[in-house]
């Protein structure tokens, strides 16, 4: 079933090459993908932007770039996207856009996708404190993302690594300020860079 789900998503990319001519870019590799449905944003501050690749590895063809964070008023915001799968520490993303958080310019699409980005270049807001042993609600809780004094919740957790995703969950290593890092599956994830999500 997983193979059928992503077989339909494997697409070729074409770019202009001379007067009216185009060449086919590599097909996006989707074999062995674990499907998920969460959102996130680019945490890559490289002025060249975040590379989007045709396969989940560093030597795969670059098929797009997400722009670096952009200033809107007094704040800086990164490109956001849907995360639809993962494999070996990489995330399969699509529908990337720069969201209008008050600039007055409207949202700007920057990459339709799908394509692969390295998991450690992705961040998101976490709204549920539980760190679980597996990506399901009945899985054992191994810890919680909340400060000891109760003043900080999971939305203020610092993500150290994003390892993968499954369904509505992400596999992360994260910590609260001045507290040790822990790894587990979290949910209640969204890409809103201004406030917490429902």
| 85-120 tens-digit pLDDT | 999 999 999 999 999 988 777 899 999 989 999 999
Instruction: Place 149 in a pLDDT band, splitting at 50, 70 and 90.
Output: confident
Query: pTM for this structure?
Result: 0.85
- What token pair was written down for 52? 């989007």
What is the structure's pLDDT at 114?
97
For 3-17, 44-58, 112-126, 177-191, which range has the lowest pLDDT when averaged over its residues? 3-17
pLDDT-derived band of residue 73, with 50, 70 and 90 as boundaries?
A: confident
* Model confidence pLDDT, tens digit, residues 151-177: 788 999 999 999 999 999 999 999 999
Contacts of 29 (CB under 8 A, 6+ apart): 10, 54, 55, 56, 60, 116
How would residue 19 be classed by pLDDT, with cut points 50, 70 and 90?
A: very low
Q: CA 49, CA 177: separation in Å to the nearest integer?
A: 28
pLDDT band at 197 (very low <50, low <70, confident <90, very high): confident
Residues whose CB is less than 8 angstroms from the CB of residue 99 and which lie 6 or more positions away in sequence, other chains included: 77, 80, 107, 193
| HSE (side-chain half, CA atoms, 13 Å) at 181 | 9
% the chain with pLDDT above 90: 74
For the ranges 9-13, 57-61, 66-70, which has the lowest average pLDDT?
9-13
pLDDT-derived band of residue 6, with 50, 70 and 90 as boundaries?
very low
Number of Cβ atoms within 10 Å of the Cβ of 5:
13
pLDDT at 198: 66
């Amino acid at each position: 079933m997983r193979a059928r789900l992503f077989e339909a998503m494997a697409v070729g990319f074409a770019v202009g090459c001379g007067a009216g001519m185009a060449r086919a870019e590599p097909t996006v590799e989707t074999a062995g993908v674990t499907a998920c449905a969460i959102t996130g944003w680019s945490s890559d501050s490289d002025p060249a932007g975040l590379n989007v690749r045709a396969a989940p590895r560093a030597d795969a063809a670059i098929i797009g770039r997400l722009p670096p964070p952009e200033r809107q008023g007094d704040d800086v915001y990164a490109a956001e996207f849907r995360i639809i799968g993962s494999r070996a520490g990489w995330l399969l993303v699509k529908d990337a856009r720069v969201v209008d958080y008050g600039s007055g310019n409207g949202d700007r699409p920057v990459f339709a996708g799908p394509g692969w980005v390295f998991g450690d270049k992705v961040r998101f807001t976490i709204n549920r404190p539980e760190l679980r042993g597996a990506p399901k609600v009945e899985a054992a809780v191994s810890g919680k993302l909340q400060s000891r004094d109760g003043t900080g919740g999971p939305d203020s957790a610092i993500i150290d690594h994003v390892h993968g995703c499954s369904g509505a969950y992400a596999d992360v290593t994260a910590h609260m300020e001045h507290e040790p890092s822990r790894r587990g599956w979290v949910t209640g994830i969204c890409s809103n860079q201004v406030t917490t999500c429902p």
